[in-house]
């Protein structure tokens, strides 16, 4: 819709490894399988297991990684909040305040690892 976006994300290893925030969007992450560990600017870990979730408000810095024994399968819900002052768009920025797109090399610490398993395998 104009205000909500839902994505399914799968990680065999790694995650969104650079601290970043979404200035114009609240996020909710719900773990369907595996385990995710989320970190804020102080690097305090919050472990989110299967069938658990957490909400990250717009403007809060975070990063996460897959920390379980199986692929991390997430549902990510994004909900637009009030537009930024002056109509500026900088939806995703790094801890330095500069734009940081998801595919930016600064955002990756680990190359993908393919385990051969898929979500729903017994």
- Please give the pLDDT value at position 83: 61
- Phi–psi pair at 14, nearest 5 degrees: 80, -150
**Tokens matching residue 87:** 């109509």
What is residue 115's predicted lDDT score, i.e. its pLDDT? 55
Q: What is the pLDDT of residue 35?
A: 96
Write down the pLDDT at residue 85: 57
SS3 label, residue 27: strand
Q: Which residues contact 75 (CB under 8 A, 6 or more apart)?
A: 6, 7, 8, 9, 29, 30, 32
Residues (pLDDT < 50) of the chain are none
pLDDT at 114: 52
pLDDT number for residue 113: 52
């Amino acid at each position: 819709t104009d205000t909500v976006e839902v994505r399914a994300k799968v990680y065999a290893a790694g995650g969104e490894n650079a601290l970043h925030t979404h200035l114009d969007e609240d996020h909710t992450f719900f773990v369907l399988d595996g385990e995710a560990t989320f970190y804020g600017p102080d690097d305090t870990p919050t472990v989110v297991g299967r069938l658990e979730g957490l909400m990250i408000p717009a403007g809060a810095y975070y990063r996460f990684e897959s920390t379980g024994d199986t692929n991390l399968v997430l549902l990510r819900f994004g909900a637009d909040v009030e537009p930024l002052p002056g109509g500026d768009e900088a939806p995703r920025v790094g801890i330095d305040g500069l734009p940081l797109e998801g595919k930016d090399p600064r955002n990756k610490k680990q190359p993908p690892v393919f385990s051969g398993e898929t979500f729903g395998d017994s």
